[in-house]
A = this chain, B = another copy of it.
Amino acid sequence: MENINLDDRSTKLIYTKYNKDEFIKEEIETVEEFIEDEDESYVRWLDVIGLSDEQVLRDICDKFQIHPLVIEDILNIDQAPKLEDYENSLYVVAKNIILENETLYQEQISFMIYKDKLISFRFKDTGIFDEIKGRLKDGTALRKDQSDDLLYALLDIIVDKYFIIMEDIGNKLDDLEDETLENPDKSILEKVYLLKRELIGVRNVLWPMRNTINSISKNEYDIINGHTIYYFRDIYDHIIQIIYINETYREIASSMLEIYLSSIANKTNDVMKVLTIYSTIFIPLTFIAGVYGMNFKYMPELYWKYAYPSFWILSIIIIIYMIRFFKKKGWM
């Protein structure tokens, strides 16, 4: 699976802070505004979109004493999902899957989570968190006390997207199944192959995501509260279910390929039967016609009165015999 197109990577800083009573969202110019605001009565979320401006990351890292390897991982677009535990923070890498123009792309999103704040790093604004921001603004249900609830909401929306992707693949698979069983033609090969690649690509995201969510929901990190664990377990259940679906789809795609191969073999067999029936009926007849087309001087049959009708009778007998022979073999 390719990464999303990253032509435009200008850095944008969206700073959201909220508590039960208030919700403030603004685009800030420099990361300082976020760093300096230490009001712990809010959950503070800095959404860093576009990572071309490395200075922003360095400023954050300097301020919050983030391990230099983390910066490297945030900037490495091929980083697999994972969780790393630091002294007073968690570093989480997740992958979002996007369906665009019938192609799947992956989008890498990193999170630094502290007790009272969360920083998300995205390479591009694909709109994945717009819904969350809307819900935070509109209602207060999501506006809970700590950053782990926010992390849950963000990961949940990412994992929910997987279901939509799998449903799309499922639909394509159903179409292919109909085609394969009813009217298999060559294009199926390529379609099944590409579907299998998509499934392999999605699986490569699912497995490390599963491990990551599992770590969050199992090992009780200080940052993740006891009551939030249930929520993360719920995400974990979802991923497990998507992995099951993925596994099932891959098996079905493999079965379909087998069926297709068998149906090609069947078709070749059919073609051969038609050729064989025509050939074996007419080849002996043509030989006989050839015999009586010879110009030997002494060929008594040529002068018999009923030779020609006899020839036809013989031909018809041979044809009937051959047809019965093929019918007995089940070829007609």
Contact = CB atoms under 8 A, between A and B. Distances in A.
B266 A265 contact: no
Interface stretch (A10-18, A34-42, A124-132, A294-302): A294-302
A169 interface: no
Contact of A196 (B255, B289, B307): B255
Size range of the interface on A?
A: 35 or more
Contacts of A306: 298
B284 A280 contact: no
Contacts of A262: 189, 257, 260-261, 264
Given A69-B234, A80-B241, 7 more contacts: A189-B262, A193-B255, A260-B262, A278-B283, A285-B290, A289-B291, A296-B307
A197 interface: yes
Contact of A248 (B204, B231, B259, B261): B204
Contacts of A291: 289, 311
A246 B181 CA distance: 24
A266 B265 CA distance: 9
A328 interface: no
Nearest to A240: B80
Contacts of A311: 291, 294, 296
